[in-house]
Amino acid sequence: MAPPQRCPLCRQTFFCGRGHVYSRKHQRQLKGALERLLPQVEAARKAVRAAQVERYVPEHDRCCWCPCCGCEVRKHLSHGNLTVLHGGLLEHLASPEHKKATNKFWWENKANAQMKEKFLISPQDYARFKKSMVKGLDSYEEKEDEVIKEMAAQIREVEQSRQEVVRSVLEPQAEPDPEEGSSASGGWKATNGHVASSSQQVSHLDLQRVPELDWMETGQHLTFIGHQDTPGVGNIHSGKFLSTIAMSAR
């Protein structure tokens, strides 16, 4: 009796020896496992000549199952805040460990030999991928610089708009119309001129109404004719009081 053997693809233990790998069930499981990995390998091959670099997001930590090695492999290659798409899977497919495990897997499971090369990456292809990865990083940096410049321009535009709003609030709301200001000034001047003219006319009329006195004419002099006594009229400041004092003295 053959010793029991564990089949990782079928997840069962068999006692029929190597005959299990030829069974329909095993071949069906083998085909399904390879078909699940093949689309991801083909997508990784497209990145050999044109590596894509993106900003890191948690989704880039996803892994895929490699049936040849029996382990999970990270699909993308991340470092810091940057991610090279399909870089992790390409690195794994080009490793000597994967090539050795693939040869063993194909022999143990009696897989189609023509499909084995589809799951391997040659060292030449991987070197080509590394060159394209360098170009992708340079292109990403240029795009980031452009994005930064655009953001800076937007920030300056917003700041300029804010300053204009503040300036419009601080400045007077309405400026006087030059035409209105000139007309108002002209009206004010006309009014003042009218008032001044009226004042001059009144002053001229007043001067004309003042009677002209003969004794104020030029060339005439005043003559003192003595104190004039008016009988019965007088006070301390008049001649009557002085005449009374003189008569008493006599």
Q: What gap in Å lies between CA 76 and CA 92, rounded to an integer? A: 11
Instruction: Note the pLDDT of residue 125.
Output: 94
Instruction: Note the pLDDT of residue 250.
Output: 47
Instruction: Note the pLDDT of residue 38.
Output: 95
Residue 81 backbone dihedrals phi, psi, to 5 degrees:
-100, 15
Instruction: Note the pLDDT of residue 18.
Output: 74
Query: Could you count the other beta carbons within 10 Å of the beta carbon of residue 243?
Result: 13
- Average pLDDT across the chain, whole number: 77
CA 156 to chain centre: 7
Query: Could you count the other beta carbons within 10 Å of the beta carbon of residue 192?
Result: 10
Whole-model pTM above 0.75? no
Structure tokens belonging to residue 11: 């997840």
Give the pLDDT confidence of 148-204 residue by residue, as tens digits.
Answer: 888 888 888 888 888 888 888 887 655 555 555 555 455 545 455 554 555 455 444
- Do residues 109 and 21 make contact, with C-beta atoms less than 8 angstroms apart? yes
Cα of first residue to Cα of last residue in the chain, in angstroms, is 193
Q: What gap in Å lies between CA 232 and CA 242, rounded to an integer? A: 13
Q: Helix-strand-coil percent breakdown of the chain, rounded to 5? A: 60, 10, 30
Instruction: Note the pLDDT of residue 187.
Output: 52
- Do residues 48 and 129 make contact, with C-beta atoms less than 8 angstroms apart? yes
Residue 77 backbone dihedrals phi, psi, to 5 degrees:
-110, 115
Q: Which residues of the chain have pLDDT under 50?
A: 184, 188, 190, 195, 199, 202-217, 232-233, 236-242, 245-246, 248-250
